[in-house]
Structure 1
Amino acid sequence: MSKSSGNTDKNVTRKVEVAVIGAGTAGQNAFRQASKTVENIVIINDGFWSTTCIQVGCMPSKLLIAAADRAHDANHSEDFGIHTTTQIDGKRVMERVRDERSHFASYIKKQVDSWPENKKISGRAHINKQGLIEVNDELIKANKIIVATGSSPYIPDDWSDNLGDTLLTSDTVFELTDLPKSIAVIGAGSIGLELAQAFKRLGVEVTLFNRDKRVAGLKDDDINNKAIVCLNRELTMHLGSKINNVGTQTVEGEDMASAFIEYEDSAGKMQQWQGERVLVATGRRNNIEQLGIENLDVELDDKNRPKQLDKKTGQIGDLDVYIVGDANANIPLLHVASDEGYSAGNKVCKNEANAYIRPPATPFSIVFCSPQIVNVGMSLPEIQQDPELEYVIGRVSFDNQGRSRIMGVNCGLLHIYACKKTDRVLGASMVGPDAEYIGHILATAITNDISVKGLLDTPFYHPTILEGLRTALRDVQHKMEIPYQSQDAQEYSF
């Protein structure tokens, strides 16, 4: 898409059918798909030619969690009659995180290296008022533009200057060469919870702060309260606190300045925290503010989110402009970014009529803390706001669930929201063991329109944690007052 005039075109150094800006998950998928039918295409990228997931997100955080879980199991096995003493080598922990991250990144590098050099440009793109893409010394005219510039950590005003070298974000924390002695984690979303617990299990003194009395953005009050109970067994959390000031101060005998946080606790009392590092996990913001996307007649709201967004393809209205992945601030998850990039790459194909557009994925999120937190489908407030929905909530506690208790992971609660008229699962929220697997089963049921009865007709092996899912589904049926005939009408938990 271009607004350029004939005179301006004289300065154009390259004309392409499609320009992809950004080479993360969404951008790479868009480029690969469009390249199947579009020869005249270019991909422009600023920074590493990899993905947020591999470099600073999913993979390094799970590597840190894996080390933390090993340490936790070794240090908390007394109830099983196992007594051990562990020694945590912080330098080796962080070294393995980076080594394995490089291993995963090597596959992406191999793929990017296979692309023709004349179709790759390293540099920061800017769209000027003529609708042309400026990058390095080039001026590119593109008929169609796919924006996949990703996101960056959000840091409150002045915090970078006030905290200096003590400040960490999810983009920098994995570059630590050793574990800190103490850390404050600001934000109880997925990033904050996962890293706070991981550091705690690795012997770091951790304090978690959050403005709201909620964790992981949970919208079901009962699930939120249960999650807080479970997580409080390990973490020191100041929920409902308000941070008024952050900064650093010199500590005698220390090589590095110490960080401090002045905050008002949930009771309104002024408090102060002091420690080695502050990890800011207050969310991420999309990277389109400096791109000049407004010069393509793309309207953004006050949070830089594009208006008139087609969530299937990322297309903006009827413009030949597509904003996909974290850049559109829709659902910042890898599988969503992948699908959006794939669909946009197909949409810009010459044979657009036969382009395969992936439907929007069933909403699905996992927080990989322990116990895990999962949300699938519609949230409870969304369901309650729809007067046409007659719903019930199936419930199961994992506090005394057979296999969970055997394994010593018996803290959790599952709520399944189901429609009485259709016998279908609308959504679910859970904190508990094996939540990632239970979440996948429920997401599959919602996506493929499987009834509650259909789910209950499948086998549930004994003894497994997944039997808890069956209990919740049976509770759904009981509350729906739907007769259920089965040879296995009795639940045998243990």
Structure 2
Amino acid sequence: MSEPITCDVAIVGAGSAGLPAYRAVRDAGLKPLLIEGGPHGTMCARVGCMPSKLLIAAAEAAAAIGHAPAFGVRLEGTARVDGVAVMERVRRERDRFVGFVVDDVQAMPPEHRLDASVEFLRDGVLQTAQGQRIHASRIVLATGTRPIVPDIYAPLGDLAIVNDDVFDWHDLPRSILIVGSGVIGVELGLALARLGVRVRVLNRSGSFAHLQDPAVRASAVGLLAAELALVQNAQVTAVRRDGNQAVVSWQAEDGVAHTESFDKVLLTAGRSPALADLHLERTSMPLDARGMPRVDPATLQVHGHAVFLAGDVTGRHAIQHEASDDGRLAGHNAAAWPDVEALPRRAPIAVVFSNPQIMQVGGGYAQFDPEAMVLGAVDWTRQGRSRVMLRNQGLLHVYVRRADKRFVGAEMVGPDAEHVAHLLAWALQMGLTVTQMLRLPFYHPTIEEGIRTALREAARQLD
């Protein structure tokens, strides 16, 4: 058995939260140990944000060709999607992004790294599968999440996949069923449909891409449902395998039964914190009914323990920059323990890379109170620059508090939503009022002028 390892802070998980936690501990002058039991490279670089955007970029190129005749641009011949070439670029560029992260990890001092799966033996003591023990006075858990695979899809075997599997494809399937219309389902569903794959999206509720504003959600569904062959409020009733085909039956909201066959079934129905293998029950940490530690969301500390959770494992919506912020906060507090503190957090922002894009800033519509707030809107069908580009679709809603005229959030589907989201998130973080925002420059003609239209409508209601 190997000699025990002693460190100041053990960080379990070397992803988008674990790496910033490691750096925070190291910069504080303490001895960290970064522990990773799987492949290095972060979920974002390996199976998340970056490879998905590579697939989306290919889909946008294909869609642009089909869109060209509307501008009077005539194309000779027929464009063809080469699925093998598409996926070769996705894998090649994905591996490049992963390589950057792996290089950074390999450059760490060897005594700061341990490539092994670990579990708790007791409070403050971890153990590898080979029996090596790690004694740490403080621990950061940044183990991420695992996709949920409902039991009903077990008969499909390897025909049932999760998004992690998509980016290792060597060709595109002819057809795919996507279960779930959250961010992953919408992004990958649209990308595959625009690359020529027959797509069907089933969702068990009326939700769509996490949108909460009913008007914005209805606009998004109206714009994107046809390409996704979306069926909402669907109940899957039977699943079976027939050779190399997945045969799925469901009942629609109107009670009509349907059955279709697909090459693949992509399950995007959610992810759960990857904590079971750690055997937290062997510690004295307080756990809830799901086996989750009770964590202070402001400091990320497990109540009464020198243990901190960071990133997706906390159970919040998985967003890369928030996971990194979590890692920095958890690492900072682990290094400073017992003098932990709540550090300032950034304004909430979320983007769905559909086309048209979807975004939320702040608390979204969930925080909207018509008695205390006003709602400003812009209909993108009438907005100048978006019409010039034939991208005049969608709706933006901004929410402004009556009492102090402060901007508090927004939801949108429409052109360049990723850029609109950043501008509004900056305004929210700076605490700007609608009056102050309208004093800022808006160049003509730009998409950003649409923000001004929505803010002006909110201001008129306040006046």
TM-score (normalised: structure 1):
0.89
Q: Report if the CA contact (8 A) 1:362-1:376 is conserved.
A: yes
Q: Report if the CA contact (8 A) 1:17-1:38 is conserved.
A: no
SS of the residue corresponding to residue 347 of structure 1 reads helix
Describe how 1:244-255 pairs up with structure 2 within 5 A: 244-250=237-243
User: Gaps spanning 5+ residues in structure 2: where?
Assistant: none
| Match of residue 202, structure 2, among 197, 209, 224 | 209
Q: How many residue pairs get matched? A: 460
User: Gaps spanning 5+ residues in structure 1: where?
Assistant: 1-9, 251-256, 482-494
Cα offset, 1:247, TM superposition: 2.1
Which sits farther off after the overlay, 215-224 or 64-73? 215-224
Distance in 1 (CA, whole Å) between partners of 2:342 and 2:328 is 8
**Which residue type is aligned with residue 296 of structure 2?**
D
- Cα 1:232–1:351 change in 2 (3 A) is closer
Which residue of 1 is the match for residue 64 of structure 2? 73
Task: Name the % identity.
Answer: 36
CA RMSD of aligned residues (A): 1.9
Residue 57 in structure 1 maps to residue 48 in structure 2 = yes
Q: Report if the CA contact (8 A) 1:312-1:359 is conserved.
A: no
Which residue of 2 is the match for residue 240 of structure 1? 233
**Which residue type is aligned with residue 93 of structure 2?**
E
Q: Report if the CA contact (8 A) 1:150-1:325 is conserved.
A: yes
Distance in 1 (CA, whole Å) between partners of 2:28 and 2:387 is 55
Deviations 1:299-344 (A, max 9, x none): 333445432x232431112311001101111232111110010111
SS of the residue corresponding to residue 454 of structure 1 reads helix
- Cα 1:374–1:300 change in 2 (3 A) is farther
Which residue of 2 is the match for residue 33 of structure 1? 24
Q: Report if the CA contact (8 A) 1:128-1:134 is conserved.
A: yes
- Cα 1:143–1:363 change in 2 (3 A) is same
Deviations 1:350-386 (A, max 9, x none): 5986x896422222111111111111112323333xx
Residue 156 in structure 1 maps to residue 150 in structure 2 = yes
| Match of residue 332, structure 2, among 322, 346, 349 | 346
Distance in 2 (CA, whole Å) between partners of 1:331 and 1:311 is 13
Q: Report if the CA contact (8 A) 2:45-2:51 is conserved.
A: yes
Q: Report if the CA contact (8 A) 1:342-1:358 is conserved.
A: no
Which residue of 1 is the match for residue 362 of structure 2? 377
- Cα 1:249–1:65 change in 2 (3 A) is same
Deviations 1:83-116 (A, max 9, x none): 3321111011011111111111121111101111
| Match of residue 366, structure 1, among 327, 340, 351 | 351
Deviations 1:223-254 (A, max 9, x none): 1111011103422111111112222102xxxx
- Cα 1:299–1:43 change in 2 (3 A) is same
- Cα 1:34–1:357 change in 2 (3 A) is farther
Which sits farther off after the overlay, 289-298 or 170-179? 289-298
Describe how 1:39-438 pairs up with structure 2 within 5 A: 39-84=30-75, 85-129=78-122, 131-135=124-128, 136-159=130-153, 161-250=154-243, 257-307=244-294, 309-349=295-335, 358-384=343-369, 390-438=372-420
**Which residue type is aligned with residue 393 of structure 1?**
L
Cα offset, 1:219, TM superposition: 1.2
Distance in 1 (CA, whole Å) between partners of 2:255 and 2:291 is 34
Q: Report if the CA contact (8 A) 1:346-1:352 is conserved.
A: no
Q: Report if the CA contact (8 A) 1:131-1:295 is conserved.
A: no
Cα offset, 1:123, TM superposition: 1.3
**Which residue type is aligned with residue 116 of structure 2?**
G
Cα offset, 1:164, TM superposition: 1.0
**Which residue type is aligned with residue 395 of structure 1?**
A
